[in-house]
């Protein structure tokens, strides 16, 4: 049954009526009006729904709203802006990575959390950090170029 749930998303509190079991993804998309992230699988298998919860990349499609608690949620929309881009966003544009772009949340949000923790990663470390994320269009080469570029920008 629906209950009042307060979520802190992109620096603002939002109180919504929701079934506590409802995945965060639907709250973000339908109640809070953030069109990113996307539904790709609903099974934690692809990454299209990735957001940060207290700085960790999580799959919002399998995270019930009740599990968010007081945690701070950040979506791609507030990772950076065209005026103040995150290095990964700059690198993605520079490298012209996406084809359809539906997978972007998974790669950028996962890589952003990883690069926060790990300075100057090797290519193998980058690949391992991103393992399991999907890009059906096959933009793998561009993704790796962009993440390496962003890693350099982040020193």
Partner 1 sequence: MTKFERPAAFSRRALLKSGGALVVSIGMPISLDAVLAVSEAHAQGASQFAAAVKPPLTPDQLSSYIAVNADGSVAAYFGRMDMGHGLHVAIGQMVAEELDVPFSAVKVYMGDTATSVHQGGASGSTGIQLGGKQMRMAAAEARRVLVEMAAERLSVPADQLTVVDGVVQAKADSAKKVTYGELIGGRYFNVPLAWNKQYGNTLYAPGKAQPKKPSEYKIVGKPIKREDVAPKVFAQEDFCTDVKLPGMVHARMLRPPVAGSVPVKVDESSIREIPGARVVWEKGFLGVVADREWDAIQAMQKLKVEWSQATPPFPPQASLYDHIRKSSVRKRVVEKENGNVDEAFKSAAKVIEAEYEWPFQSHAGMGPACALVEVKNGFATCYTGSQKSHFVQAGIAATLGLPLEKVHVKWVTGPGSYGRNDADDCAMDAAVLSQAVGKPVRLQYMREQGTGWDPKGPASIHKARMAFDAAGNITAYEFTSKGFSRVDVDTNGGKPQDTLAGHTRGVALHSGDGFGVPAESYEFANKRLAWETIPPLLDRASPLRSSHLRDPVGPQIHFASESFMDEVAAELKLDPIEFRLRHLTEARDIAVIKAAAEKFGWQPRPAPQRQTGVKVSGRGIAYAQRNGTRVAVIAEVDVDRSSGKIYARRFVVAHDCGQIINPDGLAKCIEGNVVQGISRTLWEEVKFNDKAVTTVDWISYPILDITETPASIETVLIDHPEIAPSGAGEPSIRPVAAAIANAIFDATGVRMRRVPFSPDRVRQAMA
Q: Rule CB under 6 A: which residues touch ligand FES?
A: 39-42, 44-49, 59, 61, 98-103, 135-137, 139
Name the residue nearer to partner 1 (CB basis): 53 or 108.
108
Per DSSP, the three-state class of 64 is strand
The structure tokens 């299209």 sit at 48
Using CB under 8 A, pick the residue from 43, 70, 119, 155 that binds partner 1: 43
Asked if 11 interacts with partner 1 (CB under 8 A), we say no
Whole-angstrom distance, CA of residue 57 vs CA of residue 49: 10
- Per CB under 8 A, the list member of 29, 60, 87, 112 interacting with partner 1 is 29
Give the up-direction half-sphere exposure of residue 143: CA atoms within 13 A in the CB hemisphere. Answer: 26
**CA 97 from chain center: how many Å?**
16
* Binding site partner of 144, from partner 1, ligand FES, none, Cβ cut-off 5-8 A by kind: partner 1
Minimum distance from CB of 102 to partner 1 (Å)? 4
Alpha carbon of residue 81 to chain centroid: 15
Q: How far is the CB of 55 from partner 1 (least distance, A)?
A: 18
Largest CA distance in the chain: 48
N-to-C CA span, the chain: 48
Task: Please give the structure tokens belonging to residue 40.
Answer: 């790709």
The strand ranges marked E within 62-114 are 72-74
Nearer to partner 1, 7 or 135 (CB): 135
List residues near partner 1 by CB under 8 A. 18-19, 22-23, 26, 29-30, 33-36, 38-43, 45-46, 48, 75-77, 80-82, 85, 89, 92-93, 96-105, 108, 127-128, 130-144
């Amino acid at each position: 049954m629906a209950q009042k749930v307060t979520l802190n998303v992109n620096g603002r509190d939002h109180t919504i009526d929701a079934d506590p079991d409802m995945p965060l993804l639907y709250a973000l998309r339908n109640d809070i009006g953030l069109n990113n992230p996307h539904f790709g699988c609903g099974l934690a298998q692809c990454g299209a729904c990735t957001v940060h919860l207290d700085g960790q990349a999580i799959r919002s499609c399998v995270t019930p709203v009740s599990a968010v608690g007081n945690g701070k949620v950040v979506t791609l929309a507030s990772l950076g802006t065209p005026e103040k881009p995150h290095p990964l966003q700059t690198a993605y544009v520079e490298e012209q990575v996406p084809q359809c772009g539906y997978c972007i949340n998974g790669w950028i949000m996962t890589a952003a959390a990883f690069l926060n923790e790990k300075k100057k990663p090797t290519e193998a470390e980058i690949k391992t950090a991103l393992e399991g994320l999907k890009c059906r269009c096959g933009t793998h080469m561009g993704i790796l170029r962009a993440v390496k570029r962003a890693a350099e920008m982040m020193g």
